[in-house]
A and B are shown apart, each in its own frame.
Chain A
Amino acid sequence: RKEVEQDPGPFNVPEGATVAFNCTYSNSASQSFFWYRQDCRKEPKLLMSVYSSGNEDGRFTAQLNRASQYISLLIRDSKLSDSATYLCVVPRYGGATNKLIFGTGTLLAVQP
């Protein structure tokens, strides 16, 4: 099982729609989680951090389900500018180094 798994999409949604992405992780000891946004040919940018049950920032809501080991990202009232790849990221601690493990990303295309 991959450490971090996401549905690659693409998710094609009309403007104004609500869309949700799921991400599953394998390490039950993980305590923190992140959603990053990556535009085409650009670096990833932090969208949200999730440390407890969830987090909300405007149109974006992240939820954590520890029992089922998944994190979700909900985007309400989608805008054209939300079109991007959304990366689920989980830190891994221990071993030689501490590092971030990136999912393969979910591609969102918001249509006019």
Chain B
Amino acid sequence: GAVVSQHPSWVICKSGTSVKIECRSLDFQATTMFWYRQFPKQSLMLMATSNEGSKATYEQGVEKDKFLINHASLTLSTLTVTSAHPEDSSFYICSWGAPETQYFGPGTRLLVL
């Protein structure tokens, strides 16, 4: 149980394009979900917390107009990296649940050329 999927698992795109990452909880529902990113040799950094039907709460330093979060149901959330640049290249991971019980997706590796 508690399976989370992410799609795509990896993506390569040109600078200036937008990329959408989908995160689904497959066998459970949760109101709250989280988006993280991880740069090489660094730890997971929380980007935003999202509650279904509400606007996401972004961490300091994360531009909400650049990283658009759509969380329309208890099982699906999307993160769109708009006008991606090479510095946005990272490992993006989503998770669902409460802080102490989070179920992580397998991650999406983004490379912006």
Q: Which of A's residues lie within 8 Å of B, judged by CB?
A: 32, 34, 41-45, 49, 87, 91-93, 96-100, 102-105
Contact = CB atoms under 8 A, between A and B. Distances in A.
Interface stretch (B11-19, B39-47, B73-81): B39-47
B21 to A, nearest CB: 13
B100 interface: yes
Given A87-B43, A103-B43, A98 B98 contact: yes
Most buried by B among A92, A93, A96, A100: A100
B43 A43 contact: no
A99 B34 contact: yes
Interface string B35-66: 00000001111100100000001000000000
B99 A43 contact: no
A41 B107 CA distance: 8
Contact of B43 (A34, A45, A105): A105
A41 B109 contact: yes
Contacts, number: 44
Contacts of B91: 41
Interface in B96-113: 98-100, 102, 104-107, 109
Contact of A104 (B34, B42, B46, B57): B42
A99 B93 contact: no
B57 A43 contact: no
Contacts of B42: 104
Contacts of A91: 99-100
The 10 lowest CB-CB distance pairs between A and B, nearest first, are: A43-B104, A97-B49, A102-B43, A104-B43, A98-B99, A102-B44, A91-B99, A96-B57, A97-B57, A43-B107
Given A102-B44, A104-B43, A45 B99 contact: no
Contacts of A34: 100
Contacts of B100: 32, 34, 49, 91
Given A41-B91, A43-B106, A104-B43, 16 more contacts: A32-B100, A34-B100, A43-B105, A44-B44, A44-B93, A44-B104, A93-B99, A96-B49, A97-B49, A97-B57, A98-B99, A99-B49, A100-B34, A100-B99, A102-B43, A103-B43
